[in-house]
Amino acid sequence: MALAPTAERSNRRWAPVLAGLCALLLLAATAEIVLDGAVGHSPLIPKSPNIAGWLGGIGERLGYRVFLVALLSFSAAYVGLLALTGRAWLKQLSPRWAIGLVVALHAIVFAGPILLSTDVFSYIAYARMGVEHGLNPYVHGPISIVGDPVYHYVGSSWKHVPTAYGPLYTLLSYPLAPLGLTGALWGMKVVALLASAGTLVLTWRCARARQFDPVFALLAVGANPLYVIYGLGGAHNDLVMTFLMMAAVALMLTGRSSSGRETGAGATVMAAALVKATGVVLLPFMVISRRRLAPIVGAASAALGGALAAYVAFGVHGVDIVAALNRDAALVSTDSFPTEVAHLFGKPGVFPIDHTLLKGVLAAILLYLMWLTWRGYDWVAASGWALLAIAVTSTWLLAWYTLWSLPLAVVTRDRRLLWTTLAVQGLFILHQTSPLFVQVQ
Amino acid sequence: MSQRRLIEVTVLVLVGVLLALATVNDVIRQSHTNQRLVVDLDTWRAYTGHVYHNLTIEQDLKGSGSTREVICGNTSPGAPKTRPQLCLVMRGPVVHGRRTVYGGYYLPPHTLYDVSSARYACFGPAKSQGLCEHGV
């Protein structure tokens, strides 16, 4: 429905002011988390070398309440910003303004400590095991390098666990190992920052190629609370996988369609899978959509090259991704939706039979999406739904898993994917809020 | 809206409602658990007379209705787990801001894992339940 001229004039006047307020709130919430996090001694900040000590004198120790209030404020401002940007009367929002906001958010998080996860120390430990200690990270866990400085920072649940990441990521992390712990940590932060920047650039390009508002796409991904605070804040390698996924999508969506680009896209999807196995999900949808040999040839070549490199570097264990996936599929986290549903029905948690049922549900969803893609449904949207389905049906859900589908969702015509992804993220955030009501101390 | 799209939206809404209900239920459940854990810590402090903050809580995850928790803390001032630990087993409802202690046991300093082989000097019902027996 068209707005009355007076209302439209009023909206045009107020919308930029409201957008500015939302942006300020995003920056303030991020700065609060980072500055308080830099003080250390917080259950939300993993034990870490003091890389953000120079920020430590400004904030106070980060507690659950302050963190959750900041996260909820960030989320509210993000929703407000998206609502404003999505309106026709704010379409003229300056791209420079949006890029400046996303760059500022990234800069604040980059300058601060590692947030909310010890995963980055596992990445460094696996790299140092291979480079400094001559150990195979696909056979041994970080426990085998007890004397290494990184060992004390690895999460207690992961000390005995060999890496589950793809061989490409493990090999990419090797050059960081000789830099020492602090150097490697900054290296990981730079990798995450570059991967995020690359993802956002590609998201922008794909949105333009499909004639969507690139400003909206940029803000939806680059100012997303879980993306900024959890994904970038924890320097997670999911950002590297997402960057490669978006590179494959960009190859297919931008420029003239050619066998070369399709071969490259297939190879890039496989590269994403060689970083983190989940990335492979895009491949069947890409292949079904194009019904050409080129993506298969590209993916098969990359898989062959990757397997060969993995075998040379890590032996047969580096190639056996299925074993690592099976091991991880059995994990259970309290934040996963299956665990929550089990609690709703009075069960203490998920049982082995539930894992089987969930795998069946996921398989059915994937088959349905493949059938839809065969019938002409957008393969990018189908890939996004598949990634979201994996996150929702997984018994091991972490915040950054809900980011997988986000860049795909903003470059598809089926807006249901974006709203569903954001709803899933909203429920994830809601699930974190119990310390707001009663805090244990 | 095509029939297929209608079915898809309906399924999405139903799944969304289920997940929303499960999430809210979990937040409420976790809040109740947190409330109980706060009382556990208060009970440990009242029982021992030590106002220590670095206490460890181990929840019994066997059964969704289980309210059994074990709270451990130093017996004398010091960094966490650097002194002998006194562990109290607590169960049942919160009554007048306290929980019932069903005995307990001690752990030596620097014990990483609270396993029966590490425990000693079991007392109260914890002793009759064999919590300190090696191999349990």
Mean pLDDT by 10 residues, chain A (441 residues): 59 79 96 92 87 82 91 96 76 84 97 94 95 92 92 89 92 94 95 97 95 93 97 96 96 86 94 93 94 91 93 83 74 88 88 90 96 95 97 91 96 95 96 83 68
- Neighbouring-strand partners of residue A392: none
Instruction: Confirm whether A379 is domain-assigned.
Output: yes
Contact A348 B53 (CB under 8 A): no
Split into its structural domains, chain A has a count of 1
Instruction: Determine, yes or no, domain membership for A386.
Output: yes
Report the alpha-carbon distance of residue A130 to residue A310 in Å, rounded. 13
> Is residue A133, in this structure, part of any structural domain at all?
no
Nearest to B124 by CA among B88, B83, B86: B88
Domain presence at residue A26: yes
Say if the Cβ atoms of B12 and A392 lie within 8 Å: no
* Whole-number Å distance between alpha carbons of A362 and A388: 10
Chain B contacts to A (CB-CB under 8 A): 8-9, 12, 16, 18-27, 29-31, 34-35, 37-38, 41, 53, 57, 61-64, 66
User: Residue A83 class from Cβ within 10 Å (0-12 exposed, 13-18 middle, 19+ buried)?
Assistant: middle
Cα dist from A108 to A38, A114, A121, whole Å: 11, 12, 21
Domain assignment of residue A304, given as a range: 16-120+177-433
User: CA B25 to CA A346: how far, in whole Å?
Assistant: 11
Whether A438 has its CB under 8 Å from any CB of chain B: the answer is yes
Share of chain A above pLDDT 70, in %: 95
A122, burial (CB in 10 Å: exposed 0-12, middle 13-18, buried 19+): buried
A112 in any annotated domain: yes
CA quadruple B110, B113, B114, B115: dihedral, nearest 10: -120
Report pLDDT digits (tens) over A27-39. 999 999 999 999 8
Residues of chain A neighbouring B22 (CB-CB closer than 8 A):
337, 340-341, 343-344
CB atoms within 10 A of CB A216: 22
**Count of pairs with CB atoms under 8 A, one residue in A, one in B:** 70
Cα gap A169→A317, rounded to integer Å? 15
- What is the C-alpha separation between B58 and B37, in angstroms, rounded? 10
Residue A402, min C-alpha distance to chain B (Å): 14
Q: For residue A435, which residues of chain B lie inside 8 Å, CB to CB? A: 34
* Percent of the residues in chain A that have a pLDDT greater than 90, as a whole number: 68
In chain B, which residues have their Cβ closer than 8 Å to the Cβ of A337?
A: 19, 22-23
**Residue B26, both tokens:** 């979990």
Of A169, A95, A74, nearest to A130 by C-alpha is A169
Q: How far is B22 from chain A (nearest CA, A)?
A: 5
User: How confident is the model over A249-278, as pLDDT tens digits?
Assistant: 999 998 788 888 999 999 999 999 999 999
Question: What local confidence, expressed as pLDDT, does residue B128 receive?
Answer: 82
Q: Which residue has the tokens 């809404």?
A: B13
Q: Cβ separation of B25 and A343 shorter than 8 Å?
A: yes
Q: What tens-digit pLDDT sequence spans chain B (136 residues)?
A: 688 999 999 999 999 999 999 999 999 988 888 888 889 898 999 888 888 877 888 876 555 566 788 999 988 888 888 889 899 999 888 888 888 898 899 999 888 788 888 889 889 888 888 787 765 4
How far off is chain A from B33, nearest CA to CA, in Å? 9
CB burial string A293-304: b at 16+ within 10 A, e below: ebbbebbeebbe
Q: What angle do CA A382, A385, A388 make, to 5 degrees?
A: 150
Distance CA A406, CA A394 (A): 17
The interface predicted TM-score (ipTM) is 0.86
- Cβ burial A173-186 (10 Å sphere, 16+ → b, else e): bbebbebbbeebbb
